[in-house]
Amino acid sequence: MVIRSGFRSMAALTATAAIGLCCLASTPHSTASAPRPGPAAGEQVRPRPGAPALPSEVSALSYVVADARTGKVLAARDAHRKLPPASTLKTLFAITALPHLRAEDRHTVSEQDLAGIGPGSSLVGIEPGHTYQVSDLWRGVFLSSGNDAVHVLASLNGGWAETAAQMQAQARRLGALDTEVVSPDGYDSPGQVSSAFDLAVFARAGLARPDFAEYCSTASAQFPGGGGSYGIVNTNRLLSGADGIARYPGIIGVKNGYTTHAGNTLIAAAKQGERTLLVTVMNPQAGGGFTVYEEARTLLDWGFKAWDSVDAVGSLEPVRPTKPAQRQAQITHAAPVTPNAAADDDESVWPAAGAAAGGLAVAGTFLLLVRHRSDRGRSGGERPTE
């Protein structure tokens, strides 16, 4: 099955081809170029002679490595496995609410705005009675993974339940069929799930927006409070280089997360030369809380080395479905598809991104598979400092 995905184009931006997404699942039995078994169950890869082997040390339950421009999926493990998303779900929250809220607007926070924040949530430190600019609140979401910032922005967006409903509808419009939204901030909630594929869909849609790209690539900022401001640092260590984790060369973002049930999750995008890779890693089963960064680093390194020596195990090329979408049971090596010239009004387009995307210059279609982790938490929530 092939799924169409879209957002409204912006006149001020240079438009590229509208894009859609096709699903990833189990490997098909192809008569042509059937993938060789990967080093672990559920992995797909189609290496050519001389291709580097997939890293055997990756313990994540699910991951995807993709060429962000063409949509070529270089390797994947259980890309549609439904798992708790943690704060990576904030990518869906952002693409849902960003179009409705002006960055320059200001809002005085009430006690009601902050009602219902889960115990152990990560917080940026919003104070009732203080007036914040919307752009500051978004930095609180992306850098500190602040559930308090999500609550305030959701209040401005029509309320908590309304925002959850909007997010669910947005996920379906984007063809993200694995996702069930219960709590817009990603806090562990019964029935709330997503997948590495869906989270990548959300991140890819976000990176089409200069505001999203700027927020997710910001390593540090000043946040209002205490009669002045204080510094906040992005909890994505591959971006910030904090806690002894080396910053990844060419890193763009996108989002990390952690909850008790989700474990550690990460969506990482990086650009080296003319090549841009997207890696999503969900819930490593080995090591400590920083293993997710090292596994993402390992997969990025492999992807840049294997770029020209593996065939696609799946494609994210644009196709407009002619029938109601049904989940494809197998990964298919889809033929190239010419983008439909007659795009809908809400069609997604990829601008030629500049500095706001942290050096992400994309001349054509930019497709992402994603997975996030907000860092460690308590009582099914997230660590307050992350």
Question: Per the residue annotation, which of 5, 135, 145, 183 is the catalytic one?
Answer: 145
Q: Based on the residue annotation, tell me whether 255 is a catalytic residue of this protein.
A: no
Residues 200 and 280: their CA atoms lie apart, in Å, by 7
Question: Per the residue annotation, which of 5, 9, 62, 87 is the catalytic one?
Answer: 87
Q: Based on the residue annotation, tell me whether 145 is a catalytic residue of this protein.
A: yes
171-184 burial, b at 16+ Cβ within 10 Å, e below that, comes to: beebbbbbbebbbb
Give, as one character, the DSSP assignment of residue 294.
H
Q: Which helix (H) or strand (E) holds 73?
A: strand 72-77
Task: Please enumerate in sequence order all residues whose Cβ is within 8 A of that of 314, keeping only pairs 6 or more positions apart, or say none.
Answer: 22, 23, 24, 44, 73, 76, 79, 331, 332, 333, 334
**Cα angle, residue 212 at apex, residues 121 and 135 outer, rounded to 5°:** 70
**Measuring CA to CA, how many Å separate 230 from each of 26, 220, 224, 233, 339?**
48, 11, 7, 10, 46
Residue with the two structure tokens 């640092």: 233
Residues 28 and 118: their CA atoms lie apart, in Å, by 42
Question: Per the residue annotation, which of 9, 62, 90, 240 is the catalytic one?
Answer: 90
Give, as one character, the DSSP assignment of residue 35.
P
Residues 330 and 266: their CA atoms lie apart, in Å, by 25
Catalytic residues: 87, 90, 145
